[in-house]
Amino acid sequence: MIGSLVLLAVWILFRERVYSEWRAFRSNWKAWLKRMWKEWGEPLLIATVIAIFIRTFLVGPYKIPTGSMRTTLLEGDRIFVDKITYRFRAPERGEIIVFKYPLDKKKDFVKRLIGFAGEEVEIRDGSIYINGKRLEKPAQITSHYYYNRSDWSYGREGQKFIVPSGYYFVLGDNSAQSSDSRNWGFVSKSYLVGKAFLIWWPLDRFGFVN
């Protein structure tokens, strides 16, 4: 019913324009098509190309599917990912990065960057130790409790391991319910997509990602 009323309203408002375009088409359809292309086709094509370029190389939208990054990112949050910053500088410890899932490159994962290549990492009493020293900053890491997992490859109690060359070690903020580097291993630098920087939906959570 509402759809029919909308169509009726559009017809009433634009019927003269429709009649005019129909007469122009019948009188010289080639000229009409050329004008339509100039007025609508070219602008739409240019806008589409720009949108694809921005999404591919500059900023991409993503939806958070799980609670592994609670409470920083919640299920259903929609975020923008900055794809250009890491072309000019290396990622920093504590930043939330988006990357291709090592076990399925068709999927993108979101986790917090913890360890870099060549560093010795240990999870002890809920804290992160890098090269034998307990991390005291950044607060984005130290404010979370990280659990040991005896049934996963990395992060077992008392286990120390070296991050391989060309890789990162990442963890979810919601450590108790996050499948991360403790489970499936390290993230190749070549899999890095970008840096999560803005929650844009829902509106009551709009703001920059910490």
CATH number (domain holding residue 155): 2.10.109.10
In this structure, the number of other CB atoms found within 10 A of the CB of residue 114 comes to 22
List CB contacts of 63: < 8 A, sequence separation 6 or more: 76, 77, 78, 79
Instruction: Provide the token pair at 15.
Output: 């019927």
Domains identified in the chain, total number: 2
111 is catalytic: yes
170 and 110 assigned to the same domain: yes
* 47 and 92 in a common domain: no
Q: Is 68 an annotated catalytic residue?
A: yes
| Residue in 68, 175, 178, 181 annotated catalytic | 68
| 146, 95: one domain | yes
Mean pLDDT, the chain, whole residue set: 87
Torsional sign, CA 189, 194, 197, 199: negative
pLDDT in tens, 123-168: 999 999 999 999 999 999 999 999 999 999 999 999 999 999 999 9
Question: Are residues 149 and 104 located together in one domain of the fold?
Answer: yes
Low-confidence residues in the chain, pLDDT < 70: 1-14, 21, 41-42, 45-58
Same domain for 44 and 21, yes or no, is yes
Tell me, what's the pLDDT at 82? 93
| pLDDT, position 107 | 93
- Give me the half-sphere count of Cα atoms (radius 13 Å) on the Cβ side of residue 1: 0
Catalytic position from the list 83, 111, 175, 178:
111
Predicted pLDDT of residue 38? 77
Q: What is the pTM of this model?
A: 0.78
**Do 43 and 76 share a domain, yes or no?**
no
Q: Give me the domain span that covers residue 41.
A: 2-57
Q: What is the pLDDT of residue 16?
A: 74
